[in-house]
Structure 1
Amino acid sequence: MNPRPDFGEFFEAYYGRALRFVRRHGFPVAEAEDVIAETFTALLVRWQSHGEPEQPAAYLYRSLSNQMARRHAKRDQQAFSQALDETIDVIDARQLEAFDRVETMHDAWRLLCALPERQRAIFYMRFFLDMSGREIAQQLGLAPGSVSKHLFMARKRLAERLQEEQDFSRADHLD
Protein backbone atom coordinates (compact mmCIF):
# COMPACT_ATOMS: atom_id res chain seq x y z
CA MET A 1 0.00 0.00 0.00
CA ASN A 2 1.33 3.45 -0.95
CA PRO A 3 1.45 5.74 2.09
CA ARG A 4 -0.33 9.12 1.72
CA PRO A 5 1.97 12.15 1.48
CA ASP A 6 2.49 14.45 4.43
CA PHE A 7 1.56 18.13 4.15
CA GLY A 8 5.05 19.21 3.03
CA GLU A 9 5.02 16.74 0.15
CA PHE A 10 1.49 17.78 -0.78
CA PHE A 11 2.49 21.45 -0.74
CA GLU A 12 5.50 20.80 -2.98
CA ALA A 13 3.46 18.73 -5.41
CA TYR A 14 0.56 21.20 -5.71
CA TYR A 15 2.04 24.68 -5.30
CA GLY A 16 2.81 25.12 -9.01
CA ARG A 17 -0.55 23.71 -10.04
CA ALA A 18 -2.34 26.00 -7.60
CA LEU A 19 -0.43 29.02 -8.91
CA ARG A 20 -1.42 28.21 -12.50
CA PHE A 21 -5.03 27.65 -11.42
CA VAL A 22 -5.27 31.04 -9.69
CA ARG A 23 -3.42 32.85 -12.51
CA ARG A 24 -5.85 31.38 -15.07
CA HIS A 25 -8.60 33.13 -13.12
CA GLY A 26 -7.02 36.51 -13.85
CA PHE A 27 -5.06 37.20 -10.68
CA PRO A 28 -1.65 38.88 -11.04
CA VAL A 29 1.29 36.84 -9.75
CA ALA A 30 1.67 38.69 -6.43
CA GLU A 31 -2.02 38.43 -5.59
CA ALA A 32 -2.13 34.81 -6.77
CA GLU A 33 0.71 34.00 -4.39
CA ASP A 34 -1.22 35.69 -1.56
CA VAL A 35 -4.32 33.63 -2.36
CA ILE A 36 -2.24 30.45 -2.40
CA ALA A 37 -0.44 31.31 0.85
CA GLU A 38 -3.73 31.98 2.65
CA THR A 39 -5.29 28.83 1.25
CA PHE A 40 -2.36 26.56 2.10
CA THR A 41 -2.16 28.09 5.60
CA ALA A 42 -5.83 27.31 6.20
CA LEU A 43 -5.32 23.83 4.75
CA LEU A 44 -2.34 23.21 7.07
CA VAL A 45 -4.41 24.23 10.10
CA ARG A 46 -7.18 21.89 8.97
CA TRP A 47 -4.67 19.13 8.25
CA GLN A 48 -3.20 19.47 11.76
CA SER A 49 -6.50 19.74 13.62
CA HIS A 50 -8.68 17.23 11.72
CA GLY A 51 -6.19 15.18 9.77
CA GLU A 52 -5.69 14.97 6.04
CA PRO A 53 -8.85 15.55 4.00
CA GLU A 54 -10.18 12.51 2.21
CA GLN A 55 -9.46 14.12 -1.17
CA PRO A 56 -6.80 16.74 -0.47
CA ALA A 57 -6.47 17.97 -4.08
CA ALA A 58 -10.23 18.53 -4.40
CA TYR A 59 -10.26 20.24 -1.01
CA LEU A 60 -7.38 22.51 -2.14
CA TYR A 61 -9.10 23.56 -5.37
CA ARG A 62 -12.41 24.17 -3.60
CA SER A 63 -10.60 26.27 -0.99
CA LEU A 64 -8.75 28.22 -3.71
CA SER A 65 -12.05 28.90 -5.49
CA ASN A 66 -13.63 30.15 -2.26
CA GLN A 67 -10.65 32.37 -1.49
CA MET A 68 -10.74 33.86 -5.02
CA ALA A 69 -14.48 34.50 -4.70
CA ARG A 70 -13.91 36.33 -1.40
CA ARG A 71 -11.22 38.46 -3.03
CA HIS A 72 -13.49 39.30 -5.97
CA ALA A 73 -16.34 40.22 -3.63
CA LYS A 74 -14.07 42.46 -1.58
CA ARG A 75 -12.71 44.08 -4.76
CA ASP A 76 -16.28 44.66 -6.04
CA GLN A 77 -17.30 46.19 -2.72
CA GLN A 78 -14.29 48.53 -2.77
CA ALA A 79 -14.99 49.49 -6.38
CA PHE A 80 -18.60 50.26 -5.56
CA SER A 81 -17.58 52.37 -2.57
CA GLN A 82 -15.16 54.28 -4.79
CA ALA A 83 -17.87 54.77 -7.41
CA LEU A 84 -20.24 56.14 -4.79
CA ASP A 85 -17.53 58.49 -3.53
CA GLU A 86 -17.00 59.77 -7.06
CA THR A 87 -20.74 60.16 -7.50
CA ILE A 88 -20.76 62.64 -4.63
CA ASP A 89 -19.25 65.17 -7.06
CA VAL A 90 -22.60 65.23 -8.88
CA ILE A 91 -24.65 65.80 -5.74
CA ASP A 92 -25.25 68.99 -3.80
CA ALA A 93 -24.69 69.18 -0.04
CA ARG A 94 -28.27 68.42 1.06
CA GLN A 95 -28.27 65.22 -0.98
CA LEU A 96 -25.21 63.91 0.86
CA GLU A 97 -27.40 62.81 3.75
CA ALA A 98 -28.97 60.24 1.46
CA PHE A 99 -25.63 58.46 1.16
CA ASP A 100 -25.84 57.68 4.85
CA ARG A 101 -28.97 55.66 4.08
CA VAL A 102 -27.13 53.36 1.69
CA GLU A 103 -25.99 51.16 4.54
CA THR A 104 -25.76 47.79 2.92
CA MET A 105 -24.50 46.41 -0.35
CA HIS A 106 -28.02 45.16 -0.94
CA ASP A 107 -29.30 48.75 -0.99
CA ALA A 108 -26.46 49.77 -3.28
CA TRP A 109 -27.11 46.94 -5.73
CA ARG A 110 -30.81 47.76 -5.71
CA LEU A 111 -29.97 51.33 -6.75
CA LEU A 112 -27.69 50.08 -9.52
CA CYS A 113 -30.30 47.66 -10.80
CA ALA A 114 -32.71 50.57 -11.23
CA LEU A 115 -30.42 52.10 -13.88
CA PRO A 116 -31.20 51.50 -17.55
CA GLU A 117 -29.31 48.49 -18.89
CA ARG A 118 -26.70 50.40 -20.92
CA GLN A 119 -25.95 52.84 -18.09
CA ARG A 120 -25.71 49.97 -15.61
CA ALA A 121 -23.32 48.08 -17.92
CA ILE A 122 -21.10 51.13 -18.45
CA PHE A 123 -21.12 51.98 -14.73
CA TYR A 124 -20.21 48.37 -13.90
CA MET A 125 -17.44 48.19 -16.50
CA ARG A 126 -15.94 51.48 -15.35
CA PHE A 127 -16.07 51.03 -11.59
CA PHE A 128 -16.10 47.26 -11.08
CA LEU A 129 -13.95 46.08 -13.98
CA ASP A 130 -11.80 49.23 -13.87
CA MET A 131 -12.01 49.71 -17.63
CA SER A 132 -11.19 53.04 -19.23
CA GLY A 133 -13.77 54.96 -21.26
CA ARG A 134 -11.93 54.01 -24.43
CA GLU A 135 -11.95 50.29 -23.52
CA ILE A 136 -15.66 50.43 -22.72
CA ALA A 137 -16.35 52.21 -26.02
CA GLN A 138 -14.47 49.53 -27.95
CA GLN A 139 -16.20 46.72 -26.06
CA LEU A 140 -19.70 48.14 -26.62
CA GLY A 141 -19.11 49.60 -30.08
CA LEU A 142 -19.82 53.17 -28.92
CA ALA A 143 -18.06 56.49 -29.32
CA PRO A 144 -15.99 57.47 -26.25
CA GLY A 145 -18.17 60.58 -25.89
CA SER A 146 -21.27 58.39 -25.64
CA VAL A 147 -19.64 56.36 -22.88
CA SER A 148 -18.88 59.57 -20.97
CA LYS A 149 -22.47 60.75 -21.42
CA HIS A 150 -23.94 57.43 -20.24
CA LEU A 151 -21.59 57.36 -17.24
CA PHE A 152 -22.55 60.93 -16.32
CA MET A 153 -26.25 60.08 -16.65
CA ALA A 154 -25.84 56.95 -14.54
CA ARG A 155 -24.17 58.93 -11.77
CA LYS A 156 -26.87 61.61 -12.04
CA ARG A 157 -29.66 59.01 -11.84
CA LEU A 158 -28.04 57.43 -8.79
CA ALA A 159 -27.94 60.86 -7.17
CA GLU A 160 -31.62 61.43 -8.03
CA ARG A 161 -32.60 58.02 -6.61
CA LEU A 162 -30.72 58.81 -3.43
CA GLN A 163 -32.56 62.14 -3.22
CA GLU A 164 -35.90 60.36 -3.69
CA GLU A 165 -35.04 57.98 -0.86
CA GLN A 166 -34.09 60.91 1.33
CA ASP A 167 -37.38 62.66 0.56
CA PHE A 168 -39.28 59.44 1.28
CA SER A 169 -37.42 59.05 4.56
CA ARG A 170 -38.30 62.63 5.57
CA ALA A 171 -41.96 61.98 4.75
CA ASP A 172 -41.88 58.92 7.04
CA HIS A 173 -40.51 61.03 9.88
CA LEU A 174 -43.30 63.59 9.43
CA ASP A 175 -46.03 60.96 9.80
Structure 2
Amino acid sequence: MAFRKRGVGPVAPPDGGAAGAEFEAFYRENAPRALLFVSSKGVPEQDVQEVVAASFTRMWSRWQTDGAPEGPRPYLYRVLQNRIADYWRERAQRARLVADSVDDTDLVSSRDDFTESVELAAQVRDLLGGLPERQRQVLMLSVMGLPTRVIADQLEITTGAVRTHLAAARRTLRHDMDESRMPREAFE
Protein backbone atom coordinates (compact mmCIF):
# COMPACT_ATOMS: atom_id res chain seq x y z
CA MET A 1 0.00 0.00 0.00
CA ALA A 2 1.42 3.37 -0.97
CA PHE A 3 0.39 6.83 0.09
CA ARG A 4 0.38 9.91 -2.09
CA LYS A 5 2.99 12.59 -1.43
CA ARG A 6 0.39 15.33 -0.98
CA GLY A 7 -2.36 14.48 1.44
CA VAL A 8 -2.66 11.06 2.97
CA GLY A 9 -4.79 9.36 0.36
CA PRO A 10 -4.25 5.63 0.16
CA VAL A 11 -3.86 4.12 -3.25
CA ALA A 12 -5.39 0.66 -3.33
CA PRO A 13 -3.15 -1.89 -5.04
CA PRO A 14 -4.26 -3.04 -8.51
CA ASP A 15 -5.35 -6.43 -7.18
CA GLY A 16 -7.17 -4.89 -4.18
CA GLY A 17 -10.53 -5.91 -5.60
CA ALA A 18 -13.55 -5.57 -3.33
CA ALA A 19 -11.37 -5.33 -0.21
CA GLY A 20 -9.45 -2.44 -1.76
CA ALA A 21 -12.65 -0.61 -2.66
CA GLU A 22 -14.12 -1.23 0.80
CA PHE A 23 -10.95 0.03 2.46
CA GLU A 24 -10.82 3.08 0.18
CA ALA A 25 -14.37 3.99 1.23
CA PHE A 26 -13.46 3.47 4.90
CA TYR A 27 -10.41 5.68 4.45
CA ARG A 28 -12.29 8.49 2.72
CA GLU A 29 -14.87 8.53 5.50
CA ASN A 30 -12.39 8.40 8.41
CA ALA A 31 -9.16 10.11 7.30
CA PRO A 32 -10.26 13.70 8.07
CA ARG A 33 -11.26 12.77 11.61
CA ALA A 34 -8.08 10.73 12.05
CA LEU A 35 -6.03 13.81 11.13
CA LEU A 36 -7.92 15.89 13.68
CA PHE A 37 -7.58 13.20 16.33
CA VAL A 38 -3.80 12.97 15.90
CA SER A 39 -3.51 16.78 15.85
CA SER A 40 -5.48 17.00 19.08
CA LYS A 41 -2.97 14.70 20.79
CA GLY A 42 -0.18 17.24 20.38
CA VAL A 43 1.65 15.66 17.45
CA PRO A 44 3.38 18.48 15.55
CA GLU A 45 1.61 19.52 12.37
CA GLN A 46 4.46 18.39 10.12
CA ASP A 47 4.23 14.84 11.56
CA VAL A 48 0.45 14.38 11.74
CA GLN A 49 0.11 12.99 8.21
CA GLU A 50 2.97 10.55 8.76
CA VAL A 51 1.29 9.15 11.89
CA VAL A 52 -2.07 8.87 10.11
CA ALA A 53 -0.48 7.28 7.04
CA ALA A 54 1.31 4.69 9.20
CA SER A 55 -1.96 3.93 10.97
CA PHE A 56 -3.88 3.43 7.74
CA THR A 57 -1.03 1.30 6.40
CA ARG A 58 -1.43 -0.92 9.47
CA MET A 59 -5.18 -1.01 8.90
CA TRP A 60 -4.68 -1.98 5.25
CA SER A 61 -2.30 -4.77 6.24
CA ARG A 62 -4.89 -6.17 8.64
CA TRP A 63 -7.65 -5.64 6.08
CA GLN A 64 -5.74 -7.69 3.48
CA THR A 65 -4.91 -10.61 5.76
CA ASP A 66 -8.01 -10.88 7.97
CA GLY A 67 -10.62 -8.85 6.14
CA ALA A 68 -12.27 -5.80 7.62
CA PRO A 69 -12.13 -5.78 11.43
CA GLU A 70 -15.48 -6.28 13.14
CA GLY A 71 -15.47 -2.72 14.45
CA PRO A 72 -13.24 -0.91 11.95
CA ARG A 73 -13.57 2.59 13.44
CA PRO A 74 -12.73 1.61 17.06
CA TYR A 75 -9.88 -0.52 15.70
CA LEU A 76 -8.61 2.49 13.73
CA TYR A 77 -8.58 4.62 16.87
CA ARG A 78 -6.67 1.93 18.78
CA VAL A 79 -4.13 1.83 15.93
CA LEU A 80 -3.93 5.65 15.95
CA GLN A 81 -3.37 5.72 19.73
CA ASN A 82 -0.65 3.08 19.46
CA ARG A 83 1.05 4.91 16.59
CA ILE A 84 0.90 8.20 18.54
CA ALA A 85 2.53 6.46 21.53
CA ASP A 86 5.19 5.02 19.17
CA TYR A 87 5.77 8.49 17.74
CA TRP A 88 6.44 10.02 21.16
CA ARG A 89 8.67 7.10 22.20
CA GLU A 90 10.71 7.38 19.00
CA ARG A 91 11.02 11.12 19.40
CA ALA A 92 12.22 10.77 23.00
CA GLN A 93 14.71 8.09 21.95
CA ARG A 94 16.08 10.33 19.16
CA ALA A 95 16.45 13.17 21.66
CA ARG A 96 18.34 10.86 24.05
CA LEU A 97 20.61 9.68 21.23
CA VAL A 98 21.37 13.25 20.20
CA ALA A 99 22.01 14.25 23.80
CA ASP A 100 24.31 11.24 24.29
CA SER A 101 26.26 11.97 21.10
CA VAL A 102 27.05 15.61 21.94
CA ASP A 103 30.20 16.38 23.88
CA ASP A 104 29.29 17.84 27.30
CA THR A 105 31.95 20.55 26.99
CA ASP A 106 30.11 21.93 23.95
CA LEU A 107 27.01 22.40 26.04
CA VAL A 108 28.34 24.10 29.14
CA SER A 109 26.88 27.49 28.22
CA SER A 110 23.77 26.24 26.41
CA ARG A 111 22.76 23.49 28.84
CA ASP A 112 20.89 25.98 31.04
CA ASP A 113 19.05 27.35 28.00
CA PHE A 114 18.18 23.84 26.88
CA THR A 115 16.99 22.83 30.35
CA GLU A 116 14.90 25.98 30.55
CA SER A 117 13.37 25.22 27.13
CA VAL A 118 12.56 21.64 28.11
CA GLU A 119 10.99 22.80 31.37
CA LEU A 120 8.98 25.46 29.53
CA ALA A 121 7.78 22.90 26.97
CA ALA A 122 6.68 20.60 29.80
CA GLN A 123 4.79 23.47 31.45
CA VAL A 124 3.04 24.33 28.17
CA ARG A 125 2.15 20.66 27.61
CA ASP A 126 0.72 20.49 31.16
CA LEU A 127 -1.31 23.66 30.63
CA LEU A 128 -2.73 22.35 27.35
CA GLY A 129 -3.39 18.96 28.93
CA GLY A 130 -5.48 20.68 31.60
CA LEU A 131 -7.96 21.98 29.04
CA PRO A 132 -11.13 20.04 28.25
CA GLU A 133 -10.64 17.95 25.10
CA ARG A 134 -12.94 20.03 22.88
CA GLN A 135 -11.24 23.30 23.91
CA ARG A 136 -7.83 21.72 23.27
CA GLN A 137 -8.95 20.51 19.82
CA VAL A 138 -10.28 23.94 18.85
CA LEU A 139 -7.17 25.69 20.18
CA MET A 140 -4.77 23.33 18.39
CA LEU A 141 -6.60 23.70 15.08
CA SER A 142 -6.65 27.47 15.51
CA VAL A 143 -2.92 27.54 16.25
CA MET A 144 -2.39 25.51 13.08
CA GLY A 145 -3.95 28.45 11.24
CA LEU A 146 -7.28 26.93 10.28
CA PRO A 147 -10.14 29.42 9.87
CA THR A 148 -13.09 29.25 12.26
CA ARG A 149 -15.40 27.92 9.52
CA VAL A 150 -13.06 25.03 8.69
CA ILE A 151 -12.62 24.14 12.37
CA ALA A 152 -16.41 24.16 12.78
CA ASP A 153 -16.85 21.90 9.75
CA GLN A 154 -14.13 19.47 10.86
CA LEU A 155 -15.44 19.18 14.42
CA GLU A 156 -19.09 19.29 13.32
CA ILE A 157 -19.95 22.23 15.56
CA THR A 158 -21.11 25.78 14.87
CA THR A 159 -18.74 28.69 14.30
CA GLY A 160 -20.18 30.25 17.47
CA ALA A 161 -19.20 27.14 19.42
CA VAL A 162 -15.69 27.35 17.96
CA ARG A 163 -15.37 30.97 19.12
CA THR A 164 -16.78 30.07 22.56
CA HIS A 165 -14.38 27.13 23.02
CA LEU A 166 -11.45 29.23 21.81
CA ALA A 167 -12.26 32.10 24.18
CA ALA A 168 -12.69 29.70 27.11
CA ALA A 169 -9.39 27.96 26.32
CA ARG A 170 -7.53 31.26 26.11
CA ARG A 171 -9.11 32.50 29.34
CA THR A 172 -8.13 29.28 31.14
CA LEU A 173 -4.58 29.40 29.77
CA ARG A 174 -4.17 33.07 30.78
CA HIS A 175 -5.36 32.26 34.29
CA ASP A 176 -3.16 29.16 34.59
CA MET A 177 -0.15 31.02 33.18
CA ASP A 178 -0.59 33.80 35.72
CA GLU A 179 -0.85 31.26 38.54
CA SER A 180 2.29 29.43 37.42
CA ARG A 181 4.13 32.68 36.65
CA MET A 182 4.91 31.37 33.18
CA PRO A 183 6.12 34.05 30.77
CA ARG A 184 3.62 34.82 28.02
CA GLU A 185 6.41 34.61 25.46
CA ALA A 186 6.10 30.84 25.80
CA PHE A 187 3.08 31.00 23.50
CA GLU A 188 4.55 33.33 20.91
TM-score, normalised to structure 1, is 0.49
Larger Rg: 1
Whichever structure has more helix as a proportion of its residues is 1
TM-score, normalised to structure 2, is 0.46
